Amino acid sequence: MRLFSSFVEFEDFLKSAYKENTEYTDMFLKKKTLNERQCVYISKKAHGIISEIVRVIADKDISVGGYIDNVLMQHLEAHRDEINELYRQDRKDLIP
């Protein structure tokens, strides 16, 4: 699994993935059924880009929500240790 350290690196990967999309397809464009869903808000620009990815590259095999879920889960996995460390740092004793 490939890990991205920044959005720019991810964006560059996305551009090259259009031509050589095997790794990208395996990672992000697999069909996903979301049985338990939650509403979130993203910018119109991000939605437009993601909609185009889903429409053109995935040929509508995945929904916008499924794509976003795949990207976020990869991000959480890639940064698990840092996220957990930050989470622990901000926790204080519940009862001092």
Enumerate the domain spans of the chain.
7-89
Distance from C-alpha of 43 to C-alpha of 31, rounded to nearest angstrom: 23
User: For the stretch 57-70, what's the b/e string if a residue is b when 16 or more beta carbons lie within 10 angstroms of its beta carbon?
Assistant: bbeeebbebbbbbb
Q: CB-side exposure of 67: number of CA atoms within 13 Å?
A: 23
Average pLDDT of the segment spanning 17-22 = 58
Q: What DSSP state is assigned to residue 57?
A: I
Read off the pLDDT of residues 56-69 as tens digits, 9 standing for 90 and up. Answer: 877 667 888 888 98
Read off the pLDDT of residues 82-92 as tens digits, 9 standing for 90 and up. Answer: 888 888 887 77
How many CB atoms are closer than 10 A to CB 17? 19
Report the mean per-residue pLDDT for the chain: 78
Who has greater pLDDT, 75 or 21? 75
